[in-house]
Amino acid sequence: MSLRIYNTLSRALEAFSPLEPGHVRMYVCGMTVYDLCHLGHARSMVAFDVVQRWLRASGYRVTYVRNITDIDDKIIKRAVENGETIRSLTDRMIDALHQDADALGIERPTHEPRATEYVPQMLSMIGTLQQKGLAYQAGNGDVNFAVRKFSGYGKLSGKSLDELNAGERVAVADGKHDPLDFVLWKSSKPEEPADVKWASPFGEGRPGWHIECSAMGCEMLGESFDIHGGGADLQFPHHENEIAQSEGATGKPFAQTWMHNGFINVDNEKMSKSLGNFFTIRDVLQAYDAETVRFFVVRSHYRSPLNYSDVHLDDARNALKRLYTALSLVEPAAVQIDWASPYAARFQAAMNEDFGTPEAVAVLFDLAGEVNRSKSPEVAGLLKALGACLGLLQDDPQKFLQAGAAGVDVAAIEAQIAARATAKAEKNWAEADRIRKALLEQGIVLKDSPAGTTWEAAQ
């Protein structure tokens, strides 16, 4: 069975085949780097990391582009507040983004273009749109896209222009011909800092957000490519606008397959700063280890809504512990996955059906059960190898089982274990037992074996 992907554009599962045989070109909208990444970013990055891992595991070469929006109103505002340059703020936030993504086991994309480095390509596309009558300069100097001039507008949202307009409460402002017209080039305001102004045939200004992705996508992947992804919140207007600009300029279909990952809620509510339930990746990694967070995301289907709560994270932690416990029983053999073998075939079938990670994770649990029964190094090896397709189970099992619990002071525990060993050597059984009980009260379970004492955090 070959890969099928749910295409937002057609609202159907479609057999996937790349435009260039053997090579998948994928673009995913990345972050606007004015602050730390939050849980929603984590979900999107993990979802498309799993997609690119599975495409590679299926034998494709993958060119994966995830852009960085490093010019935007929010960035300007924050940099001015901080009294720093745009570049210093965005460099710092990109470093933080990489640290968070690396912690979550997210492989770096092939390219991470920064918008400010592609302004000439954006201006060239805007020029083409103007020549084709799809863009106009308004009285305030902004260049806008004329949505009524592009016949395909609304095809991604599945709505007509009039239906889309009905939801728009804003009056036609800034000389726009239609409320849905969107800005391609923002003319500079006198009070804006000098490092956000570019010279152009339309006067000094800076690019709008939507044109960034069209220009960078075309530049790095070609005018037509295979997969365009992002969070469900980007479907309208951002992706609708990307299609209008790109296809309006080139006359060719932009992306074949549009993929959107679902929202993340916190305790069943939309995550927002005003509700006080807003979490950055760093907040979450203070309480849970990174692989637990990744596992929590991966075991849900990417299109489903995902509910974050401590209960769900604790549960994810316990589930992941079961998998690592199996891997701790026997040294996994290094295996080449035989996709014809029953477990691997089930895993493959699940992933080939629109990246069905819940069923793929269920296969991992079945394999863990098999390892528990058989202690087979080959079965453990297959468990580890299939885990790698999801970016899971590559840690040392002992290390994971011991150090995974948040707030556990490993050095202090090791010191207690050493003190207990000394007590035992001195046949001071009362003291040895006291230390064991004291650790147990902190949720630390000791296991003695001829090789020494190991510990794990009870849940």
Q: By CB under 5 A, which span of 26-34, 92-100, 157-165, 380-388 interacts with Zn ion?
A: 26-34
Cβ nearer to Zn ion, comparing 27 with 324: 27
Cβ nearer to Zn ion, comparing 157 with 307: 157
Q: By CB under 5 A, which span of 27-35, 129-137, 150-158, 451-459 interacts with Zn ion?
A: 27-35
Residue 359: other Cβ atoms inside 10 A:
14
Q: Can you give 164-215 as a three-state secondary structure string?
A: HHHCCCCCCCCCCCCCCCEEEEEECCCCCCHHHCECCCCCCEEECHHHHHHH
Supply 22's token pair: 């053997």
Q: Is 221 in the site for Zn ion (CB under 5 A)?
A: no
CB of 188: closest distance to Zn ion in angstroms? 23
Q: By CB under 5 A, which span of 7-15, 24-32, 181-189, 402-410 interacts with Zn ion?
A: 24-32
CB of 238: closest distance to Zn ion in angstroms? 5
Cβ nearer to Zn ion, comparing 72 with 291: 72
Question: For the window 264-303, what string marks contact with Zn ion as x by the rule CB under 5 A?
Answer: ----------------------------------------
Q: Residue 129's closest CA among 247, 222, 252?
A: 247
Cβ nearer to Zn ion, comparing 31 with 213: 213
Cβ nearer to Zn ion, comparing 235 with 372: 235
Enclosing H/E stretch for 229? strand 225-231
Cβ nearer to Zn ion, comparing 29 with 249: 29
What's the one-letter identity of residue 319?
A
Q: By CB under 5 A, which span of 3-11, 21-29, 120-128, 262-270 interacts with Zn ion?
A: 21-29
d(CA 243, CA 72): 20
**Could you tell me how many residues of this chain bind Zn ion (CB under 5 A)?**
2
Q: Is 29 in the site for Zn ion (CB under 5 A)?
A: yes
- Select from 86, 213, 290, 371 the one that contacts Zn ion (CB under 5 A): 213
Q: Residue 217's closest CA among 363, 4, 26?
A: 26
Q: Residue 15's closest CA among 352, 406, 321?
A: 352
| Bridge partner residues of 144 (DSSP) | 136, 183
CB 267 within 8 A of CB 240: no
Phi, psi of 309 (to 5 degrees): -155, 160
CB of 239: closest distance to Zn ion in angstroms? 7
Residues that bind Zn ion (CB under 5 A): 29, 213
